[in-house]
Structure formats: C-alpha cells, structure tokens
Amino acid sequence: MKNNNFPNVDQRAIDSQLRANWFRTILGLVSLAALGAATFALLGLNITIASVILGLFTVVLPLFSWYNSAKLVKRLMKCEAPNSLNPDHRRLVRLVKEIYPKTGLSKMPDVLVSPVPMPNAFATGRSPSNSFIACTEGLFAVDLTDEELKAVLAHELAHVKSRDVAITSLTATMGSLFAILLAGGMPWIFSAAFVSSKDGLLVDKLSDKVKKGKKNFAAPAVGFAGFFFTLLVFAVVSFFTKFVTFFVSRSRESAADALAAQWTGNPCALATALQKINDWVNRNRLLLQLKIMMGGLAPMLFFGLHEDEDHDPKTVSGKISRWWREIGENHPPIPTRIKELEAMAGASCPTMDDIKKQRTAALNRLFRNGRRVNDE
C-alpha cells in the first residue's frame, strides 16, 4: 500500500517494520527481566560488600550516564554549535529544520557538530526535550546529496522520538542487575553442584568416584571442577545478556531506519547514504583506529563500524563467522538494512556501482561542457 503523501513509500512495509522492531525490543527486555526474576527466585538475594560495590558501579553508573548523557557525549565528542559562516554547517541546520516538522516532536533538538574526521552522526539525551543530534565533520567529506543527508538526520531524530537512549540504558541496567544476582549466587551454584548430598547429583556421583579412586586427589579435583563449572555458567549467562543487549540495539536501529524512510518519503536515500559512507570507510581504513574512541558511542551512531568480510560468505564456515560477528554488533549489517529499506520503497535502490556510474557520467558531461566553452 503506497503512502498518498509519499508515492515512493510502501506504508504497509514501514508499519510492519515498526511493529516487528517494537516486538523485538519488548521481547529482549522481557527476556532479561524473566531471567533476572528466575535467578532471584533460585538463588535469592545475597547482599555482600562486594555486591553492593558492584551494584554502585553497574547500576548507578548507567543511570547516571543516561541522565547526563547529553553533557557527557557533548564533552567526549567535543561537540560545538554550527558555524554560521561554514556552508556545510548552514546546510546541516537547514536540512534539520526541513525534516523536523514531520517528526511530531514538540521541540527541535539542538544541532551540533563534532570535529571527528570519521563520517557518522549520533543522537543522545535523557528525553526529547533534553536531546541533541550531531554529525561529524567527516560526514561532510562524503558526497551525500541533500536527500541522503536529510535521511541520515531523520534517522537520528527517530532515535530522539523513540527515546532509544533511555531504552538502551534500561537494557544495560537490567543486564547489570542480572549479573549482580548471578555473581552473588555463584557460591550457591558451586555448593549445590559439587558438595556431596543424598540426592546424588551427576556431578556428585562423579566426585564420589574420584574420591574412591584417589582420596588424596579428591578435594582438588572437585574444587577445580566446581570452579570451571561455575565459570562456564557465568560465561554462558553473560553471553546471553550481551546478546540480548545487542539484539535490542539492532531493533532500535531498524526502527529508526523505518521512521526516517517514512518522514523523508525516500527510503532509497538512506540506502545510498549507507553505501556511500561504507565506501568511504573502506577507502580510508587507516581511520578505523577511531573505532576505539567511538566504540562507547556505538549504540547511538548512525553507521556501525563493521569489519571487512574475512571469509567466503558462501561457505559454511563463512556463514557461521558472519553470523557470529553480526550478533555482536549494535547495528544490523548494511545489506540487511538496505534490503529492509528496499521493501519500504517497494523497489530496488541504486547500488554503489550505479552511484559510481552516475558520478562518472556527471564528470564526463562536465568535461564535455568545459571543452565546448573553451572551443567557443
């Protein structure tokens, strides 16, 4: 079903994408809450000095970071107000003002610029009224059209509209709470699994066999087994919480893409912007050392700093390697994002090869026109 206001947009596909991503977000949060409740029911609340200190760092700190996110990110990224004498900065402000009325936000977020040379954009703030969106100076180095840059900015405004900073902070806090509950219950897990009892648990039976065969080795063997078992439980559960956190983050990115496509009425503009930025990154790999500096901002960035494909995606090992890398990313893979945007557009979007051909054709026309003027 086409949107009457934007004939190039399939509104049904956009609505479906928004519903699917809100479902994924809620599913992730409920999964963390259910796992935390189950852990609390099984292990209880073990309050120790260590758990209190851990709680202060892993719960209070994320909440503090969320509440002061605008100030912290502004300082970290050295964000400043746009320079009215800079044509790129004037263009940035103009495009935000053009797209802002379509967002339904009661107040337009502040627009800032970061001196970072890596092309990217981000949004942060504890609420829509206390938020700002920013782009890096590097984004101006990418040959983005007005429509493409507007789509990138709409994506960031979508994060503000959906309160995605609060959602990601909540996810991180829930994961931290669960980790504290699990850490407090580790001695209980060790005791229940490796101390002999009348129930005769599997690990108990194994430890009994060890005791019968080698009495002197029994205690160390059980101790080492208990340590590694406990470590394994903690590692598996920690991986699950990290997986859910990234799962929620990717759902918010896809939802922001959908809203940007709806507001701009041009899903392919966002698709070509992604490809151009990715092409720039691939041609400037040395600047990827900035990934270390911007890693903490990954959930708020427009463009995820994906690594190159190291394996053939057609092989089984290549598919496994790609899947493993993707589940550890804050952003969906670019091909996935483009595929979703094409579904919203109801047609295929230009590829990077198409964009390069258009650039070559434009340069050839410019060259021919220049020669014609000189001949005259």
> pLDDT tens digits for 237-264?
778 888 888 899 999 999 999 999 999 9
CB atoms within 10 A of CB 214: 11
Which whole number is the average pLDDT over 196-221? 45
Q: Is residue 172 part of a domain?
A: yes
Collapse the DSSP code of 114 into the 3-class scheme (helix H, G, I; strand E, B; otherwise coil) and give the result. strand
Which whole number is the average pLDDT over 27-51? 72
CB atoms within 10 A of CB 97: 11
pLDDT at 222 exceeding the cut of 80: no
Residue 113 dihedral angles phi and psi, to the nearest 5°:
-130, 135
Q: What is the mean pLDDT of the chain?
A: 77
- Sign of the CA dihedral running 196, 198, 199, 200: positive
Q: Is residue 363 part of a domain?
A: no
Of 158-167, 205-214, 263-272, the least confident: 205-214
Q: Is residue 196 part of a domain?
A: yes
Q: Is residue 156 part of a domain?
A: yes
Question: Crossing angle of helices 164-194/202-213, nearest 10°?
Answer: 40
Half-sphere exposure of 370 (CA within 13 A, CB side): 6
Q: Is residue 6 part of a domain?
A: no
Q: Is residue 73 part of a domain?
A: yes
pLDDT computed for residue 79 by the predictor: 93
Q: Is residue 229 part of a domain?
A: yes
Give the residue among 149, 156, 76, 65 at the shortest CA–CA distance from 110.
156
Q: Give per-residue pLDDT as tens, 268-319.
A: 999 999 999 988 888 876 655 555 445 445 545 566 655 444 555 566 666 6
- The sheet carrying 110-114 orders its strands as 110-114, 131-136, 121-125
Residue 75 belongs to domain spanning: 11-345
Q: Report the number of distinct structural domains present in the chain.
A: 1
Of 86-90, 252-256, 371-375, the least confident: 371-375
pLDDT at 168 exceeding the cut of 80: yes
Q: Is residue 350 part of a domain?
A: no
* Cβ-proximal residues to 217 (8 Å cutoff; 6+ apart), any chain: 210
pLDDT computed for residue 218 by the predictor: 45
Query: What predicted TM-score, i.e. pTM, was given to this entire model?
Result: 0.78
